[in-house]
Amino acid sequence: MNTSVAFIGLGAMGYRMAAHLPKQFDTVYVWNRNFDKAKQHATEYKTQAVELQQAVQADIIFSCLPTSQDVEDLIQTLEIKSGAIWVDCTSGVPESARKLSQQLAEKNVKFLDAPVSGQTIGAENATLTFMVGGEKSAFDQAFATMQVMGKLIKHVGDSGAGFAVKAVNNMMMAVHLCAAAEGFTTLKAHGVNLNEALDCINASSGKSGVTEAVLPQRVFNRSFPLTFALPLLAKDTGIAVDLIREAKLSAPVIGLTQSLIQTANNLAEPNSDFSTAIKMYELWNKITLD
Amino acid sequence: MNTSVAFIGLGAMGYRMAAHLPKQFDTVYVWNRNFDKAKQHATEYKTQAVELQQAVQADIIFSCLPTSQDVEDLIQTLEIKSGAIWVDCTSGVPESARKLSQQLAEKNVKFLDAPVSGQTIGAENATLTFMVGGEKSAFDQAFATMQVMGKLIKHVGDSGAGFAVKAVNNMMMAVHLCAAAEGFTTLKAHGVNLNEALDCINASSGKSGVTEAVLPQRVFNRSFPLTFALPLLAKDTGIAVDLIREAKLSAPVIGLTQSLIQTANNLAEPNSDFSTAIKMYELWNKITLD
Amino acid sequence: MNTSVAFIGLGAMGYRMAAHLPKQFDTVYVWNRNFDKAKQHATEYKTQAVELQQAVQADIIFSCLPTSQDVEDLIQTLEIKSGAIWVDCTSGVPESARKLSQQLAEKNVKFLDAPVSGQTIGAENATLTFMVGGEKSAFDQAFATMQVMGKLIKHVGDSGAGFAVKAVNNMMMAVHLCAAAEGFTTLKAHGVNLNEALDCINASSGKSGVTEAVLPQRVFNRSFPLTFALPLLAKDTGIAVDLIREAKLSAPVIGLTQSLIQTANNLAEPNSDFSTAIKMYELWNKITLD
Amino acid sequence: MNTSVAFIGLGAMGYRMAAHLPKQFDTVYVWNRNFDKAKQHATEYKTQAVELQQAVQADIIFSCLPTSQDVEDLIQTLEIKSGAIWVDCTSGVPESARKLSQQLAEKNVKFLDAPVSGQTIGAENATLTFMVGGEKSAFDQAFATMQVMGKLIKHVGDSGAGFAVKAVNNMMMAVHLCAAAEGFTTLKAHGVNLNEALDCINASSGKSGVTEAVLPQRVFNRSFPLTFALPLLAKDTGIAVDLIREAKLSAPVIGLTQSLIQTANNLAEPNSDFSTAIKMYELWNKITLD
């Protein structure tokens, strides 16, 4: 297609995501703060490693950075092409999306908050889920580019709605993680065979993404591979509770879980996977989930 | 097969479960307090409606009653056949399982705590999950009878372990229910499209049995069909917290959730499905999840 | 004394506080949005009801408004006398204090966040506690004016520290309120005589400001007099949890209590005293604390 | 007076309590498992160190042991004088009180659950609070003996009510302890002067027994003297949540606090004072309350 596309931020997710774009689009710019990574990407996937200022002349500009603050800082410095659509895949802050959306609108640029789920394996296999907030017309225009990298591409509401869904998704996952830690600790304390119990629960009403994937693949085998850092989960749960505070809602289980994830993060070693939050419970109860 | 089987307690679950037994076993006794139901079952499925005292002369005796207390009360009155195995499918109390196990052992009867999951649809289709505690040899002997009614039949540990797994499964489901209520309330308050958000979350790490089944089939369509009563969920979460107390564990999220389910149950109308616990959150936040 | 003093905001607290100033100061300006109240105050206490612009020519300017936002809105419109000290007795937001402190510093005006405790009775008897944040030198200069209205006048830290102490005080009170509601509900459910139990607890380690004053004076006698509105307590607990979020702390009991106060406030009738939060528990447990 | 009195269990509390009895009563038996302590008491306070079987021939028999289980075990072995009143000052379990009350009634012995508060200093100065459950007539008969050792002697209800009040008192204190830990951690994180803040809060609505006594005397000075062991507080909070479970109440803040105290106890070094629960928060937040 003739649409030109750019991808800014070639981290563990971005690097893999951008790799799919040349399959459908002729002009694919990539940029990364550590520019060697951009050059490596260009070599490996036939993208073009360009200066940031050139990248933002693309029709559709993707970004995937650690936090909304990083995106804000970057955008302040740029002269983005009029008529472009900026698709931000960061797990960001809804309020920031609304602010950037307004700022960019003055320059005739549309902003979509479009966080993804599916982790690096989903990025690699182009099976990501995109949860997108912003103007429906901009969503429609950017749809084809997202579809190259994802499987389920959903417009979930106005500006900020995408970030809100991602934050709530991760917050719910955090609750499920605590429930699993507490539930299986209880079973172990009472002499139950954890693997058999897990099979039963995964065939029953108590299952979750955590019992289906996190417990068997990360916890019971004691691997805790670093694919989603605990500080990032702590950040996302914080975004969720800020949404609750803003709307003056009552959400006690989420509130408590955020405290616990914050505690686990305060106690954790650097570069810990989110799943190591379970180790906090293990310490508290002197029970290891293996 | 020559093994004789009995089924005591023909409620919504038991009636459907016992219906499969004649497919494999020649002698199937059924008994129910309201005996008309037993006679109807005999007519419908070619089982034999018999006096309770005759039922407990079977080789394998199933029970499926509301609570462990009901099972205890019943068993005190009976002369069970020596060598029989009693398979109790009630969602019961681990401590009661251990007590009955010891009492029956004196009469040369084995007791298995074998609660099931899968609801009435699973009972109808013989796709239930059996989570079984007790002696492994008794489990092996009873295996074939359970297999006629279920799909996944697991020995999870010593006496009481089956009840513990069921209580923890239901407890975890209750946590997931609260997480879903709080999470989707937050999204609705921020103007997010709930159906699209649910699709995203069900494709992401935040999914659970609740987001996959309860929200779309019971809540968003406002049907709240009574298939698993809220007081029974309250009972099961109580069993889980008692297990936590006994072992002096730290399980704050489960503890809080039990309080909330207790609150919802205190406030609910009679004959409310467990999913109506979400209405408590709707009341608190003046937001309806539809 | 020659120091001129102004008091802006003659609500239930401010009206009584300003009444003490003429005892020590010759020039006392008062202003209120509903100006009739200012004129009434002037008549009653020999203060001077003046235009707002004149009031802010005083040496020491007190304000006592519902929220920090009200104070910010007011201050934006004013030309305050250079060298003045603004003493804000609102139960406000620490971040707002720091912002106003910086803004006013540019105009050579010092800002002190100086919330008070002691309720209307303390305002009337000049026995209030002032917890003050901001520059120590400004605190020293304003000390004499605060001392006319209060008994304990403390400098607790830099700008914002006063508001932080007030928010945390009210948050702790909210926790104690929930503890008392839950504890006495438990005792009532078990047939204990609540008045005798209260006497025992007030002589023991479990006492609090709530058991000493709120339970006997507001709850057990079912009077729930409106002296501190529930929405204001909800606001203050929100300020406290925002402080916790900012500093990335783990504070689970405070977090949960904020959820519960938010719930009580969402459910309460308009113009409810903070003590009516206990009625939420009464509803949940079908037990009345009388 | 002619009434004969016995005191069983001369621990830190009992030793000091029994010391007052000879001031009013001629015959005072004492007994202790480690009998040397009884003999020392007899020498020091002119009591009579006697065999256990003789001690329980007294008109009024006090006991003060670590747990209700200890009292039950002891009582099973004894032939208590018909007509005697047994006054148990243990911090015990209400259900156990009711059981013992019934058992002893068959032997014409009355049982009062009469836990005390006031710690060792209150025992030494005879200023303890007695919160007493059981028959009013037995309470009246035993009143004079309790009055020798205490200042506030209250009949709070039927058998078990005394233990219930004590458990709830200690549970509320535990909530206040968590509130104080969380609140002051928040203040410290924001640079507030803790001593000045404590003065303000102790003059305000947020005060509690913990802010008035525990923070200044045990925490801020880092002394944490062992006067009430953390495992005993954990036991008492467990009794409180059992009361809540029995009555099917909703008490989320107490439930969460019990989890936290359980956690602190699981993590604590042996022989830790209850106030060291605050160290758990210090670890979690990397903030020391000094």
Asked if A150 and A89 touch (Cβ cutoff 8 Å), the reply is no
Cβ neighbours of A14 (radius 10 Å)? 23
d(CA C151, CA A210): 56
Active site residues of D: 166
C-alpha closest to that of C134 among C103, C96, C160, C95 = C160
Record: contact C266-A252, CB cut-off 8 A: no
Q: How confident is the model at residue D2 (pLDDT cuts 50, 70, 90)?
A: confident
**What's the Cα-to-Cα distance from D30 to each of C15, C266, D58, D67, rounded to whole Å?**
64, 58, 10, 19
pTM, rounded to two decimals:
0.95
- Catalytic residue (choose from A81, A166, A188, A235): A166
Residue pLDDT, tens place only, D162-178: 999 999 999 999 999 99
> In this structure, what token pair is assigned to residue D107?
């032997």
Annotated active-site residue A37? The verdict is: no
Residue A10: what are its φ and ψ, rounded to 5°? -105, 60
Taking the Cβ of residue A107 and every Cβ of chain B, the question of whether any pair is shorter than 8 Å is answered with: no
3-state secondary structure D154-218: EEEECCCHHHHHHHHHHHHHHHHHHHHHHHHHHHHHCCCCHHHHHHHHHCCCCCEHHHHHHHHHH
Active site residues of C: 166
In this complex, which chains have at least 3 CB pairs below 8 Å with chain D? Answer: A, B, C
- DSSP SS3 for C133: strand
> Mean pLDDT, to the nearest integer, of B226-253?
96
> Mean pLDDT, to the nearest integer, of C200-218?
98
User: Considering only alpha carbons, which residue of chain D is nearest residue B231?
Assistant: D248
Taking the Cβ of residue A250 and every Cβ of chain D, the question of whether any pair is shorter than 8 Å is answered with: no
Write down the pLDDT at residue C2.
83
Asked if C257 and C178 touch (Cβ cutoff 8 Å), the reply is yes
User: Above 90 in pLDDT, residue D194?
Assistant: yes
Nearest CB partner across the interface for A259, out of C252, C263, C265: C252
Record: contact D245-B248, CB cut-off 8 A: no
User: Contacts of residue A283 in chain D, CB cutoff 8 Å?
Assistant: 267
Asked if C53 and C24 touch (Cβ cutoff 8 Å), the reply is no
> Mean pLDDT, to the nearest integer, of B228-251?
96
In A3-116, which ranges are continuous DSSP H helix? 12-18, 35-45, 52-55, 68-76, 94-105
* Residue C204 identity (one-letter amino acid): S
Residue pLDDT, tens place only, D255-278: 999 999 999 999 999 999 999 999
User: Contacts of residue C184 in chain D, CB cutoff 8 Å?
Assistant: 168
Residue pLDDT, tens place only, C241-264: 999 999 999 999 999 999 999 999
Residue pLDDT, tens place only, C1-30: 689 999 999 999 999 999 999 999 999 999
Record: contact B190-A156, CB cut-off 8 A: no
Residue pLDDT, tens place only, B118-139: 999 999 999 999 999 999 999 9
d(CA D184, CA D237): 23
Nearest CB partner across the interface for A245, out of C241, C248, C251: C241
Record: contact B256-D258, CB cut-off 8 A: no
Record: contact C164-D157, CB cut-off 8 A: no
- DSSP SS3 for C4: strand
Q: How confident is the model at residue D1 (pLDDT cuts 50, 70, 90)?
A: low
Q: At what angle do helices C252-267 and D161-189 cross, to 10 degrees?
A: 100
User: Above 90 in pLDDT, residue D237?
Assistant: yes
What domains can be seen in chain C, in order of their start residue? 4-158 (3.40.50.720), 164-285 (1.10.1040.10)
Asked if A16 and A62 touch (Cβ cutoff 8 Å), the reply is no
Rounded to a whole number of angstroms, the distance from the CA of C224 to the nearest CA of chain A is: 23
C-alpha closest to that of C130 among C140, C116, C118, C143 = C116
> In this structure, what token pair is assigned to residue C49?
């009801």
User: Considering only alpha carbons, which residue of chain C is nearest residue D175?
Assistant: C179
Rounded to a whole number of angstroms, the distance from the CA of B186 to the nearest CA of chain C is: 13
Question: Which regions of chain A are under pLDDT 70?
Answer: 1
Nearest CB partner across the interface for B240, out of A186, A204, A254: A186
d(CA D282, CA D276): 10
User: Above 70 in pLDDT, residue B1?
Assistant: no
> Mean pLDDT, to the nearest integer, of C52-56?
97
Write down the pLDDT at residue A94.
97
User: Contacts of residue B256 in chain D, CB cutoff 8 Å?
Assistant: 252, 255-256
Tell me how far apart the terminal alpha carbons of chain A are, to the nearest angstrom.
Answer: 51
* Residue A236 identity (one-letter amino acid): D
> Mean pLDDT, to the nearest integer, of D208-227?
97
Write down the pLDDT at residue A251.
97
